[in-house]
């Protein structure tokens, strides 16, 4: 652990063996089901990790920003789905990526946005492959699966020069409200059945629908059938986090990232300890645990949870550690300067707080520092 | 507004005139009180803004990370207070900054950390100026103002070679629990009176205490007396945010930053609109407004709040807009592609989500793009 103790904290650690096991688990599961993975790169935003995610897969990826599309395109990824309904002011950027040869697919759920995308494409003599976003659970965005509404939008898109209708996409975000694997399995089945019915509706209307794209980490790990689905999107599964543990789709031992931090103070009268990881290092994602809002599990520097120590408040550069039981923290065992690891509530937001992953091998030796990017422009 | 409409969203806008007015307001207030400002640069993390913050001030600044200390030191700031209790693994970094000639002051609240800091200093033949952190309100960190506890720690620090005791510091974070200006004024007075009494205790014990450092934006704007205080720290005041509006220390018109975003979808059956600013662009800070948790006010692209439109949920790249009244959103008035601005709940976290400020003059013309940094290392 000497190497870890020499790092300036806070910083982000990635346990490569745990991540590879997580990736292998979903790859194997989907291979058995006969459906390919189109990994969502928004969680990791790292070229080295993206290469592991597409290993033995067809190679298509999912992104949440055009900055991701540009960076991954420049690193050799050529089949990229931008899975957020596109804003008109991003069309010039998207067209530039498309012109460079990237097979950049767009997501649409309105005729207004479709007309803007078509105009941008024809201006440049391009064609954008397009998926229609379907709202299967009222969670966020997407068009209603009502056949008349859906067919009307699909016909409009199909008629717009510069757009090539390729099918349907959904994200059953309500899976995150699930409280058991069976509840998530039911949402996954709702996702699948609504999507396959909608695809049949389009095909019956003589419209093209080769792609039926579903996904989220919980539904990808809990679905019992993928019949009629042509690809599964998921991103968090590579890292996992306490939210996925809460959803019962992984264990604490499956969490591959942690924030390395250092004890900077003990406050026995207030029953608390302070570490140097605040919301800038962990994000503000929290979950309720035994009635208390927590921002992470506190582990030793080997990654083993320390009894009932949790983060119960975050400031910009301070993390407040208390015991769930309300008991006293043993300051003799964890003196100032002790290096600890924090398991995150939400991998996407915690990773987004860092510009690199310190990659650990199975002996907890740092074997690489992989860059991670953020922002909305390739220069960002 | 054509310039704004050409920007790819989301991005961070800074209204320079509003910021200058905010800075001038606190400068004038403290000049009248005869106490200097030591601006906290953690909110802004931008060299151009830091120069405006120290204009007509003695020049000392406050930082929350050694990355800030390093960047600002390299830009000519030489009197830097690192206002987080130092972790032992940061002492080599701190010593390197001190060796380069920066007057880097450290904050301590324990004898253990003091011994580590002293050892690092003497190893390099250096002296660290040191402030003792006092806990005036039980909010976070700091030593008890109990005279025996305080004098004992101060004597220990004073005796450690390599450390030069310079006085006391506190941050009355409980000001953020205030619900009226009078409540915050009372906390500011508690902060001042506890600190001046503690300073007298140290001086009576023959210990040096030239510095009595207090601060937070709410207490800096609401204090009625600074007697005995030698410097005030504050950072958010330059930008302001909805949290400061809630604390009644500024108005919505005083908020200098906003996130430019674009309408990407309308969902009339769900009474919502979606914009392309999620938590990656806004942070997850929220506050309760009329019983609803909100993540920002929605404004037109000139920065004027649009009736009762607010963000009520955020995903990674999606912001869900609803009306506080529950009424229908006029999609004809705000079609897809409409550019809007979001006023943030918490300026520190929203600014931390961006790598540059698009600086607007009074005609809303973009006159500069000022870089903003984050992370914990100078290369970060």
- Span B320-333, pLDDT tens digits: 999 999 889 999 99
Q: Which residues contact A281 (CB under 8 A, 6 or more apart)?
A: A10, A12, A259, A261, A317, A319, A350, A353, A354, B376
CB contact under 8 A, B264 and A376: no
Q: How far is A6 from chain B (nearest CA, A)?
A: 7
Q: How far is B285 from chain A (nearest CA, A)?
A: 7
Distances from the Cα of A274 to the Cαs of B86, B223, B281, B284, in angstroms? Answer: 11, 28, 28, 22
pTM confidence score? 0.97
Q: What is the mean pLDDT of the segment spanning A104-126?
A: 97
Q: Tell whether omega for the bond before B10 is within 30 degrees of 0, i.e. cis.
A: yes
Question: Any chain B CB within 8 A of the CB of A266?
Answer: yes
Q: Which helix (H) or strand (E) holds B371?
A: strand B366-371
Q: Which residues contact B66 (CB under 8 A, 6 or more apart)?
A: A8, B82, B90, B93, B94, B97, B376
Nearest CA in chain B to A140: B320
**Percent above pLDDT 90 for chain A:** 91
Torsion sign across C-alpha atoms B346, B348, B352, B357:
positive
CB contact under 8 A, B317 and A375: no
Phi then psi for B291, rounded to 5 degrees? Answer: 85, 0
For A277, other C-beta atoms within 10 Å of its C-beta total 30
Interface of A with B in 191-230 (CB under 8 A): none
Query: Residue A262 is nearest to which of B89, B318, B380, comparing CB atoms?
Result: B89
Question: Any chain A CB within 8 A of the CB of B115?
Answer: no
Interface of B with A in 3-22 (CB under 8 A): 5-11
Question: Any chain B CB within 8 A of the CB of A118?
Answer: no
Query: Over chain A, what is the mean pLDDT?
Result: 96
Contact predicate B169/B83, CB 8 Å: yes
Question: Is pLDDT at B24 greater than 80 in this prediction?
Answer: yes
ipTM over 0.90: yes
CA B3 to chain centre: 29
Nearest to B375 by CA among A365, A46, A371: A371
Query: Residue A89 is nearest to which of B116, B262, B267, comparing CB atoms?
Result: B262
Question: What pLDDT score does A380 carry?
Answer: 53
**Percent above pLDDT 70 for chain A:** 99
Query: Residue B262 is nearest to which of A87, A112, A138, comparing CB atoms?
Result: A87
CB contact under 8 A, A85 and B116: no
Question: Binning pLDDT at 50, 70 and 90, where does residue A269 land?
Answer: confident
Question: Is pLDDT at A6 greater than 90 in this prediction?
Answer: no
Q: Helix A111-123 crosses helix A147-159 at what angle (to 10 degrees)?
A: 10
Q: Give the whole-angstrom CA distance, residue A89 versus residue A132.
A: 19
């Amino acid at each position: 652990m000497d190497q870890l103790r020499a790092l300036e904290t806070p910083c982000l650690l990635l346990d490569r063996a745990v991540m590879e096991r997580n990736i292998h688990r979903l790859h194997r599961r989907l291979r058995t089901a006969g459906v390919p993975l189109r990994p969502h790169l928004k969680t990791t935003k790292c070229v080295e990790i993206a290469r592991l995610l597409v290993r033995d897969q067809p190679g298509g990826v999912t992104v949440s920003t055009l900055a991701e599309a540009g960076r991954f395109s420049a690193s050799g990824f050529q089949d990229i789905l931008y899975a957020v309904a596109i804003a008109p002011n991003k069309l010039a950027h998207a067209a530039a990526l498309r012109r460079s040869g990237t097979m950049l697919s767009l997501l649409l759920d309105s005729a207004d946005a479709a007309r803007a995308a078509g105009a941008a494409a024809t201006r440049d003599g391009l064609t954008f492959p397009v998926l229609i976003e379907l709202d299967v659970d009222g969670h966020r965005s997407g068009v209603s699966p009502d056949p008349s509404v859906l067919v009307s939008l699909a016909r409009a898109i199909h008629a717009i020069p510069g757009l090539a209708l390729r099918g349907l996409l959904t994200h059953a975000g309500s899976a995150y409200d699930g409280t058991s694997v069976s509840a998530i399995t039911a949402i996954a089945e709702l996702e699948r059945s609504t999507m396959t019915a909608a695809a049949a509706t389009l095909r019956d209307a003589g419209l093209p629908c080769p792609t039926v794209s579903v996904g989220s980490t919980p539904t990808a790990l809990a679905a019992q059938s993928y019949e009629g689905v042509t690809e599964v999107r998921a991103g968090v599964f590579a890292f996992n986090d306490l939210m996925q543990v809460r959803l019962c789709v992984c264990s604490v031992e499956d969490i591959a990232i942690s924030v390395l931090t250092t004890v900077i103070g003990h406050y026995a009268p207030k029953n608390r300890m302070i570490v140097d990881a605040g919301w800038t290092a962990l994000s503000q994602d929290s979950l309720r645990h035994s009635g208390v809002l927590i921002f992470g599990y506190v582990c030793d520097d080997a990654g083993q949870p320390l009894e009932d120590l949790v983060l119960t408040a975050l400031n910009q550069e301070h993390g407040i550690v208390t015991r769930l039981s309300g008991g006293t923290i043993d300051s003799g065992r964890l003196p100032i300067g002790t290096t600890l690891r924090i398991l995150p509530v939400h991998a996407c937001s915690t990773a987004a707080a860092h510009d690199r992953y310190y990659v650990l091998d199975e002996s907890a030796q740092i074997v690489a520092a992989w860059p991670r990017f953020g922002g909305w422009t390739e220069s960002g």
